[in-house]
Structure 1
Amino acid sequence: MKTFKSMWLILAIAMLSILAACGNDKAQKSETENEQWDPAQAAATEVTIENNDTTQIYTEAPKKAISLNQHVTEIMLALGLEDSMVGTAYLDDKIYAPLKAAYDQVPVLAEQYPTKEQVIDAEADFLYAGWKSGFSEKGVGTPEELETLGIHTYLHTSSSTTNPSLEDIFTDIRNIAKIFEVEERGEALIVQMSQEVEDIRAKLPQGKEELRVLIFDNGKQDVTTAGQNFMNELVTVAGGKNIFGDVESGWTTVSKEDTVERNPEVIVVIDYGSTSVEEKINFLKNDPALKETDAVMNERFVTLPLSAASEGVRAAEAIQILAQGFYPDNF
């Protein structure tokens, strides 16, 4: 009888052990399933960006991006995203020197905008345009067309708004950093750019009237200049006053007579395209009307590359060039 009771005790202990093991297996399985699928966590990893009248939802960072203009190419490279890029396009001039090594790792697809076929052949999943023309019918295609191909798009907002500021560029940088899941790099880049600008501003003369500045793109019969585009911000931060900053447009055309009346003290010559800086300055010196301005008579010209004048990572460099040209004694 004693042996019989012992056997039942052994069997009971064994059954309890089996049940406990089953319970543990179910708990572990449940935990594994929760780790594999957590709706709250999945929702948190989604990134939603409102851009260019579209809503772009990212469930993962793009892996095959193409940048369509130089200043946005330089933003991606400054964020260390060259390994996530399958192509670049449309240089205005030489790439920013600190980014040249990274740039050389990315294929150049076209001198201007690539074709839709080139984009498809590259298996692109993200296109980043610096100008609205990139997503026009003459560019790569509209965001709606590209979405049907499974390609996300981002239009650089600071290049597509009136009178953009440095903060608008920082918003674009934050958006791209968020899309590519490199937020810390984005904030570090913004801190660096902000500090560089503050260091320049600290050297500017205090209590002086701002210099009258003409931004000269080109001109023959009339003058093509900057109204309320990013050049207006750059000139202002560098301690000057854009004489056509009251014109509510980006690049604009004004008369020579109006230019002479506003009488610039300094002329910023934008360097790009087939017309050289020397040719532009010779035109200013020999034009019967424009040669009478203070800037031309005193030969006060500042040369600025178009790539530095765009809404990108070279903003501090552009402000440095302008400030040195405006106030050489302070630098």
Structure 2
Amino acid sequence: MLRNLLMTPKRILVALVCLTIITSCKQENSKNTKVSIENNNASTSYSYTFDNGTTKAEVTVSKTPERAVIFSQFLTEMLLALGLEDNIILGTSEGEIHESLRAAYDKIPNKMQGHHSMISKEAFLLLNPDFVSGWSDAIKPQTTGDAQELLQNNIYPYVLNSIKSNATLETVYSDFIELGKIFNVEDQANTLVKELKDKLAEAKTSFKTAPENKKVKAVVMGTLDNGAYVASALVSNLIEEANGVNIYKELTNNYEMVSYESIVEKDPDIIFVYVTADGVSGEDKINFLKNHPALKNVSAIKNNNIHALLLANVAPGIRNIDVIIKMNELFYK
């Protein structure tokens, strides 16, 4: 019955899918809370700091989460990669789930599709969750309750460090390890991280490169009529790992709005447009850029070097190694 409540058009006011362009949580005056969920039967515990840019809370996990609500594809896939499909009560996709994880994803009883998808606070609480995470703005008073309220309701709030400023591939690895500790699958997390590191190390033995002053200049963006959301932070490091340079590596936010004039000035050699479940295809975004009069002299446009990719490929997760490998191929083909 609850699944119908979330998924049917008749209950659209209860389960509203918000399809919006990525925005980064701005640093504001932070509230600090110190609340932990107690479980006298637990033999172990793990503590971490929840910080979504507006609220901080010290969280002590003393009971393995069993009913996780996840409002992003990247974190849904991370938990599935750790074999935690039975611990997820609601998962989210922003495009095709990774092929290796589709069977596991099918086992999740409640699903949502859309970028920055959310449901009503009432529907969220009806799921009886004990863990919630997603993009930085997924946890807020209007939709889930703030961190303090969640903890008082025995729900662990969580946000990955790898969607914050200055994140790198090492941050992604650390997040996998932390999720392993929270969900009591630390061995699986260590094994997965080793596999990812080994895969990249093996691939790098055949990577092409160039001198620093001749490395390919790249940008990863979403498009709007009046500008573009460009990616930095983790994405800058992924491009660097692929032996390229992000033209917006100096930006501190994970995603930030820039003008098309700025893109013209920086003149990227290659452009990646990210695709979400917002109804605009990668082909549409590419054609928009090709036909934008202000961009006609940009090297990537003139050389038809524009490529679409799912946002999940450059968000933290199991796809990062594959996208690094693919980027290197495209940088120096």
- After TM superposition, the score normalised by the length of structure 2 is 0.79
The separation in 2 between residues aligned to 1:85 and 1:223, in whole angstroms, is 34
Aligned to 1:79: 82
* Contact in 1 for aligned 2:208/2:328 (Cα 8 Å): no
Aligned to 1:276: 281
Alignment equivalent of 1:266, drawn from 270, 281, 286: 270
Aligned to 1:45: 44
Aligned to 2:229: 224
* Contact in 1 for aligned 2:230/2:258 (Cα 8 Å): yes
Aligned to 1:93: 95
Deviation at 1:287, TM superposition (A): 1.8
- Say if 2:308 is the partner of 1:303: yes
- Say if 2:186 is the partner of 1:183: yes
* Contact in 2 for aligned 1:163/1:232 (Cα 8 Å): no
Matched position secondary structure for 1:292: coil
Which gives a bigger RCO, structure 1 or 2 (Cα 8 Å, sep 6+)? 2
* Contact in 2 for aligned 1:271/1:277 (Cα 8 Å): yes
**Structure 1 residues 165, 84: CA separation in 2 closer, same or farther (over 3 Å shift)?**
same
The separation in 1 between residues aligned to 2:296 and 2:222, in whole angstroms, is 16
**Structure 1 residues 258, 108: CA separation in 2 closer, same or farther (over 3 Å shift)?**
same
Aligned to 1:22: none
The one-character-per-residue Cα deviations of 1:120-147 (angstroms, maximum 9, x if unpaired) are: 32222222x1212111134322111111
Deviation at 1:150, TM superposition (A): 1.4
Residues 194-273 of structure 1 aligned to structure 2 (within 5 Å): 194-208=197-211, 209-226=214-231, 228-272=232-276, 273=278
Aligned to 1:134: 138
Matched position secondary structure for 1:232: helix
The separation in 1 between residues aligned to 2:43 and 2:89, in whole angstroms, is 28
The separation in 1 between residues aligned to 2:297 and 2:251, in whole angstroms, is 23
Deviation at 1:109, TM superposition (A): 4.6
- Largest Rg, 1 or 2: 1
Aligned to 1:290: 295
The one-character-per-residue Cα deviations of 1:280-306 (angstroms, maximum 9, x if unpaired) are: 222222222211111111111222210
The separation in 2 between residues aligned to 1:150 and 1:69, in whole angstroms, is 21
What amino acid is the match of 1:46? S
**Structure 1 residues 114, 253: CA separation in 2 closer, same or farther (over 3 Å shift)?**
closer
- Say if 2:321 is the partner of 1:316: yes
**Structure 1 residues 142, 301: CA separation in 2 closer, same or farther (over 3 Å shift)?**
same
The one-character-per-residue Cα deviations of 1:147-183 (angstroms, maximum 9, x if unpaired) are: 1211122112211x21310111122111111111111
Deviation at 1:105, TM superposition (A): 0.4
Aligned to 1:7: none
**Structure 1 residues 175, 299: CA separation in 2 closer, same or farther (over 3 Å shift)?**
same
Q: Aligned-pair RMSD on alpha carbons?
A: 2.1
Alignment equivalent of 1:63, drawn from 53, 60, 66: 66
Aligned to 1:8: none
* Contact in 1 for aligned 2:42/2:63 (Cα 8 Å): no
Number of residue equivalences: 284
Percent identical: 28
The one-character-per-residue Cα deviations of 1:204-233 (angstroms, maximum 9, x if unpaired) are: 22443210112231032333322x332212
Structure 2 residue runs without a partner (length 5+): 1-40
Matched position secondary structure for 2:316: coil
The separation in 2 between residues aligned to 1:182 and 1:199, in whole angstroms, is 26
Structure 1 residue runs without a partner (length 5+): 1-41
